[in-house]
Amino acid sequence: MDYVLLSIGLICIIVGIIGSFLPVLPGTPLSWVGLLLISLTSAVSLNYWLLSVTGLIVIVVTFLEYYIPAKGTKHFGGSKYGIWGTNIGIVVGLLIPIPFGVIFGPFIGAFVGELINNYNNPKGALKAAFGAFLGFLASTFISVMISLIYLGIFIYLFWKNYQNY
């Protein structure tokens, strides 16, 4: 049973890393499930602190994946319309073929939202949309790094506990 848990856990971590790039998949939560599965094997003692801290990090990162693009829009001069456009663009971008919808959805949403707010200022709308795009890149980077760290923890736990197993 341990080998099944290890295999599924490793698959979850790898899919989690891929999901960090493709927001259609829940990247960091899947990586955390991989850590949970290796903790359920008989060779690794269940470490509640590790699972609690990494689980809390997953919750924070999942929230930040939606918050950072909107904050980037606001930082670059976007209004509430641009922020709403960014959030709508993220959701609509999930429905468009990958990766273009996910990458450009927040950008286009912020741009359209700003144009609705003030159609006489396309430069301001473009600036706010650029902020949304930078926010998306930043949140993706954070998600990828957390998933890679979880892969490192998985490998460490495997190496430490399965050498003599």
**pLDDT class of 43 with cuts at 50, 70, 90:** confident
Closest CA to 113 of 104, 96, 94, 126: 126
- The single residue listed with the structure tokens 């990090």 is 57
Could you report the per-residue pLDDT of 82-103, keeping only the tens digit for each? 888 888 887 888 787 666 777 7
Domain that holds residue 150: 2-162
Please tell me the total count of domains within the chain: 1
Residue 39 pLDDT > 90: no
Please provide the average confidence, as pLDDT, over all residues in the chain: 85
DSSP state of 164: -
Could you report the per-residue pLDDT of 117-153, keeping only the tens digit for each? 888 888 888 888 888 888 888 988 999 999 999 999 9
Judge whether 109 and 62 are in contact, CB under 8 Å: no
